[in-house]
Every structure is written in structure tokens, then in C-alpha cells.
Amino acid sequence: MKLGFDLSLKQKQKLIMTNQLIQGINILQYNTIELGEYINQEMEKNPLLEKEDVSNEAGEGEVNWLEFVKNTNKTKEHSQPYSEDEDRNVIENVKCVEESLKDILIGQLHVLQLSEEDYGVGEFIIDFIDERGYLSAEPEEIAEMIKVPVTKVIKIVNFIRRFEPSGVGGRNLKECLKIQLINMNHCDDMLFHIIDEHLEDIGYNRDNKLMKELDLDKEDISYYREVLKGLDPKPGLKYCEEEPDFVIPDIFVELNGGKVVVAMNDYYVPRLKINSYYESLLQKGGDEKTTEFIKSGLNSASFVINSILQRRETVKNITQLLFEKQIEFLKHGESYIKPMTLKEIAEVLEIHESTVSRAIKNKYAVTPRGIYSLKHFFTTGLAFQEGEDVSVVKIKETIKDLISKENKKKPYSDQNITDILKEKGYTISRRTVAKYRENLNILSTRERKEA
């Protein structure tokens, strides 16, 4: 056997989470107001950036969007007609801005002593934590997206799982509950086993089954139930952002001759250009420090301009495709919304689902039916007997309609509604009906019954 040293070259592709990459991700998910604020900050920092003078008047054949907005206030509750009296009360109407779940988690992330790359990975992971506090992507998926080792992602996920609110970072309810117990140093194997195998049993008070299968007595089961009741099944909701009372739309959508027309709201987002004075200085040349300063500012300015243009194109393409798929909604209203997923849009546009998710985040569109969040149109579907999927919105509208027409002295039970829906061809469980009824803020059968 021959021993010795060997020298070899190995090529490997790796994406490093640079500040520019993080900046590009943030630009994509900014809404119109946030992007306008970001641009103003960049212009203050970088003298090479300046606004481009652009006329806001509509050209011949273009949709007059200002006129269009005035005529859309009458169809959706989000769209309140503007009153001149609001000028006087504008300060009272401004809400106190509280920190979001994302802000809370990023603040805790930056207390840790990590490398710049790890901070970037951490912020990327936090973007996948939903409003409940659950991690909505697998570590392997995240690692693949940003080309870092999965061990690094798992390490940072484990850091995040120690953050407040306790329980964030779990991928599901069971993980969320176990994370809270670990953070409380309450590591009881039997309790973990109950969470893994008997969570539904303890929730529905199936004590006899638990006593038989786990060899526990009533006192033990009561103790474990009380411990679990003290945990938060959705820790992120305490920081959940409420729907704003007033929104600035990011996109305008109109039907023109049966075709979907989409335009971006550029009023708050000025077009940028490179300052010609500094460009001329660079061409003339000069001392080394001045040239280096201008080159650095030029690179930064070019990146900002290109990122904003790319954001504009991505958001517009996604919105165009979204409303082409939802054209029946534009014509007839909310009950005609079709089930649609991020994956469907991503596959057609050949981009990643996470790009679609960031592009629609906190963005609102003015439509002929009112102002809607883009996220509103990404609904799950239920199977219809004829093979076609029906949107959750359609099911909820049907439930609402059934209850509005019921006999108030003998209201429908959730099982009655389930049976009626099955007769109409909808495949749905009683528990799902109960959940949708609660989402619609409709009282239970007993509470709806009139004497």
C-alpha cells in the first residue's frame, strides 16, 4: 500500500448570502410605501442616485388609473370613499405601529455572535416562519435555495427555536409544543410520547383509552392535560399583523375588452437614474480616492436601480398571470375565485415558490371588485364530485348563504350543512364546516336558535 500526499483541484458552486443578495430579497418583498422609504434612504446615502423627472399624465389609449380608482370604492368593504373630513382627523386615524413577529425574531438573531453569512441565512429562514410561528419549509429546501450546507441551516433553526415567543420554528403543532417544553426544561418522555401519538386523544378527553394504552391513572392524565393547556399552539399569532384600515395599493388591475390590464402604482416609487455630474467626473478621471468613491457609489446605485426594475417586472408578471387565472372573479365577484397555489404561478413563470411568496407579501391590488391583498387569491381547494376543485372562498360563501336562509327556530347543525354540501357535490368533513363557520364569525347552532 502506497502512502503519500496528493494535490487535487475540485470545482464547487456555492452561493454566499452577501449583503447585496439580502438587499435584493428585501427589495422584492417591500410594498409600495416601504420601497419609497427605502429609495429615499438610499438617495441620502448615495449621491450618485437621483430621481428621474417623469410625467404622470396618461397617454392616448392608456387607462386613466386615477379615474379608475375613484370608481372602485363602491364594491368592496376595504375600499372606503375618501371624505374631506378625514383631513382633520388624520392623526387620530394613524395606528400605532407595533413590531411584527419577523422584527422580533430578527432582533433576537442579531444579538447572537454570528458571521455575516449566518445572519443572512438566519434572516432567510425567518422569512419562512408563518404568522402562526411555524417553519413552512424543510431545512433541506432552504439549504438548496441558498446553496449552503443543510447542517448550517439546521444549526440556525435550532438557535431560532430558543427565541421568544417560545415555540417558534417548529414545522407543525407537535414540534411547536415540544419546543416549548424543552425551553421550559420540562423534558418528560411520557409527555413527548403523548404529543407524538395521543394528542387528539387527550384533546378529546379519551381518558379510558389513555389509561389502558399508556398505563396511567386519572391524576396523571389530568396533570399532562393541564401542562399541555398551558402551552401556546400558535405562538406567532400574538404578533400577527392586523389587516390595515387604510392601504396604498401597489397594483391596478382592470378588464379592458375582456383582457386583463395590469399597471404598477409608481406614484410613490420615483424612477431613479445615475447623477450625470458624477458620471462626467468619472470620465474625466482624477485622484485615486475620488475615482474609487465614485466607482463604489456607481456599483451600489446600479444594483439598486436594477433590483427595483427586476422587482417591478416580477410583481407585474405574477399579478398578470394571477388575474388571468382569476378572470371570472374580475367579472362576477369573490365567489368565483378559483383555488390557486404559489407552485402553479412559479411553474408557469419558471421561478421559485419563495420568489412568488416574497413578491406578493403585503401587496394590494385595486380591482373592479375593490381592493384586495394578493395573498387573498392563493386559496386551497376542495374536491368536487365532477373532478373540478372548488375554492375555500366558494365553500364559505355557500355556508354563509345556507345559514342566512335557514329556519331560525330550527337552525342547521354543522352535520346538516355537511350533508347539504355533499348533496351539492362538495367533498367536505363536518370538522371543516365547523372551522369555516367559525372563520365567518357565525355562531353555533345552539347560539343561533331563536325561541
DSSP structure string for 49-110: EEEPP---S--TTS--HHHHHHTTTTS-TT-PPP-GGGGTTHHHHSPPPPPPHHHHHHHHHT
Phi, psi of 363 (to 5 degrees): -115, 140
Residue 451: pLDDT band with limits 50, 70, 90: low
Confidence label for 332 from pLDDT (cuts 50, 70 and 90)? confident
What is the pLDDT confidence band of residue 354, given thresholds at 50, 70 and 90?
A: confident
- Mean pLDDT of the 330-353 span: 86
User: What is the identity of the amino acid at 234?
Assistant: K
pLDDT at 106 over 80: yes
Check pLDDT > 90 for residue 376.
no
Q: What is the pLDDT of residue 181?
A: 93
| Angle at 357 (CA atoms; ends 352, 359), nearest 5 degrees | 95
What's the confidence (pLDDT) of residue 342?
A: 86
pLDDT band at 274 (very low <50, low <70, confident <90, very high): confident
Residue 74 has pLDDT above 60, yes or no: no
Q: Tell me the angle at which helices 116-126 and 19-29 cross, rounded to the nearest 10 degrees.
A: 20
pLDDT at 90 over 80: no
The mean pLDDT of 289-300, rounded to a whole number, is 86
Of 104-108, 237-241, 281-285, 394-398, the range with the lowest mean pLDDT is: 237-241
What sign for the dihedral angle of Cα 424, 425, 429, 434? negative
Given this model, what pLDDT does residue 89 score?
Answer: 38
The answer on pLDDT for 215 being more than 50 is yes
3-class DSSP assignment, residue 349: helix
Contact indicator for 204, 131 with CB cutoff of 8 Å:
no
Mean pLDDT of the chain: 80
Please say if the pLDDT value at position 56 is more than 80.
no
Q: What are the residue boundaries of the structural domains of the chain, listed by start?
A: 19-53+246-377, 101-238, 381-448
How many Cβ atoms from other residues are within 10 Å of residue 245's Cβ? 10
Report if pTM > 0.95.
no
Q: State the pLDDT confidence band at 384, using cuts at 50, 70 and 90.
A: very low
Which are the contacts of 283, defined by CB distance < 8 A and separation ≥ 6? none
Least confident of 91-105, 155-169, 270-284: 91-105
Segment 161-181 mean pLDDT = 93
Tell which residue, 286, 268, 270, has the closest CA to residue 278.
Answer: 286
Q: Is the pLDDT of residue 8 over 70?
A: no
Q: Please report, as a single letter, which amino acid is at residue 287.
A: D
pLDDT class for 75, splitting at 50, 70, 90?
Answer: very low
Statement: residue 280 has pLDDT above 70: yes
Distance CA 399, CA 380 (A): 16
More confidently predicted of 386 and 90? 386
- For residue 158, the model assigns a pLDDT of 94
In this structure, which CATH number among 2.60.120.330, 1.10.10.60, 3.90.1150.10, 3.60.40.10 belongs to the domain 381-448?
1.10.10.60
From 48-57, 86-95, 400-409, the region with the lowest mean pLDDT: 86-95
Enter the C-alpha cell of residue 235. Answer: 405562538
Name which residue leads in pLDDT, 121 or 52: 121
Confidence of residue 55 (pLDDT cuts 50, 70, 90): low
Average pLDDT over residues 32-45: 90
pLDDT at 186: 86
Residues 380-392 have a mean pLDDT of 52
Whole-angstrom Cα distance, residue 387 to residue 256?
Answer: 32
Determine the pLDDT at residue 337: 82
Model confidence at 1: pLDDT above 50: no
Q: Which residues contact 365 (CB under 8 A, 6 or more apart)?
A: 249, 250, 251, 252, 253, 319, 323, 371, 372, 374
